[in-house]
Structure 1
Amino acid sequence: MERARQLLGEMLVCCFVVVLLTGAFLAFFYTPSGELVAYDGSHEPLRGVALSAAYDSILDISLEVRGGSFMRNLHHSSSILLGSGVVVWLLLGRFRYASAVLGLGALAGISGYGAADDILSGTVLGEVPIPAWYGLHLLVAVAVGVVLVVSSRREAARRAG
């Protein structure tokens, strides 16, 4: 059982690194703005439609940036795998910070969708400015990293002592 926990912990670290790397890649092309712009990308049915600059940049990442759609999918899939792994770790009963990571992960998911201005648009949560969602998304990513580092250091100290 201990070996399974160790492998799961290593998987969580790998997933988190993938989420960070793909998120950094996506951040280079993302525009966190709610300003309305006319779409002028390659998707013909949307050409000329007014949409937020954030959603326009997401469409550009998906359709124009080489590997952008793959990176978006990898970012999303790794985030889900990270959350699922934390749930399994929680079920194993040893990860004291699992509930914090799960809560932060849920907040990261909601803020990620809010920053994209697609799913939450037109809802009560859609009234929050896009830069605030993006800032919250970045802040939560740092918080998850801090919780994972602190928990792994305490676990290592407990094993050594």
Structure 2
Amino acid sequence: MERARQLVGEMLVYCFVVVLLTGGFLAFFYVPGGQTVPYNGAYEPLWGIPMSAAYNSILKIGFEVRGGLFMRQLHHSSAVLLGIGTVVWVLLGRFRYALAVMGLGILGGLSGYAAADDVLSGTVLAKLPIPWWYGLHLLVALAVGAALVISSRREAAQHPRTLPFVALSLGLTFLVIFGF
């Protein structure tokens, strides 16, 4: 059971790396602004429709940036797998900070959607400025990454990684991300 938990933990670290890399790519094109701007991008049916600068940049990433939609989808599916994998990881062992890590995961997802001005528009939570949500999203990502790396190092100290184990965890992570 300990090796299975370690395998899931390693897979979570690799999922987090994918989330981090895709998030870094998306950050180059993202504009965390809440001001209203008219859409003038590649998707003609939306021309002239007023929307937030954040949502406008999300649409431009999806329609105009080469590989942008693929990166958004990869970022989203890896983040979902990170959340599901965290629940499995917690269920496989006695993790003292289970509620904290799962709470960080929920907060990370909520702040990611809020930063895109996607789901929370028109709600009470939309009163916070979009740059605050974006900053919260980045802080939560750092906290989750730190928790995963610290836990992974502790587990590796008890049960050292071998090359076949690392290859298995990388292969399973690849299959789960691209099969999801």
> Normalization by structure 1: what TM-score?
0.93
- 1:38 positional shift: 1.1
| Contact 1:30–1:57 (8 Å) recurs in 2 | yes
Identity of counterpart residues, as a percentage? 73
> Partner of 2:123: helix, strand, or coil?
coil
Between stretches 86-95 and 29-38, larger displacement belongs to: 86-95
- The number of equivalent residue pairs is 160
CA distance in 2, matches of 1:159, 1:44: 56
Superposed CA deviations along residues 16-55 of structure 1, whole A, max 9, x for unmatched, are 0000000000000000000111110111111011111100
| Contact 1:97–1:147 (8 Å) recurs in 2 | no
Between stretches 80-89 and 151-160, larger displacement belongs to: 151-160
CA distance in 2, matches of 1:91, 1:84: 11
Between stretches 93-102 and 52-61, larger displacement belongs to: 93-102
Task: Verify: 1:68 aligned to 2:68, yes or no.
Answer: yes
Task: Verify: 1:129 aligned to 2:125, yes or no.
Answer: no
Who is 2:149 aligned against? 149
Gaps in structure 2 of 5+ consecutive residues: 161-180
| Contact 2:9–2:148 (8 Å) recurs in 1 | no
Who is 1:32 aligned against? 32
Superposed CA deviations along residues 32-82 of structure 1, whole A, max 9, x for unmatched, are 000111110111111011111100000000111111111111111001101
Rate the CA distance shift 1:22–1:66 in 2: closer, same or farther, 3 A. Answer: same
Which amino acid in the other structure matches residue 98 of structure 1? Answer: A
Who is 2:80 aligned against? 80
Who is 2:172 aligned against? none
Rate the CA distance shift 1:85–1:101 in 2: closer, same or farther, 3 A. Answer: same
- 1:131 positional shift: 0.4
> Normalization by structure 2: what TM-score?
0.84
Between stretches 74-83 and 1-10, larger displacement belongs to: 1-10
> Partner of 1:30: helix, strand, or coil?
coil
CA distance in 1, matches of 2:118, 2:45: 17
Superposed CA deviations along residues 69-123 of structure 1, whole A, max 9, x for unmatched, are 1111111100110111111111112333332221111000000010001110000
Gaps in structure 1 of 5+ consecutive residues: none
CA RMSD after TM alignment: 1.5
Moved over 4 A (4+): 157-160
Who is 1:54 aligned against? 54
Who is 2:109 aligned against? 109
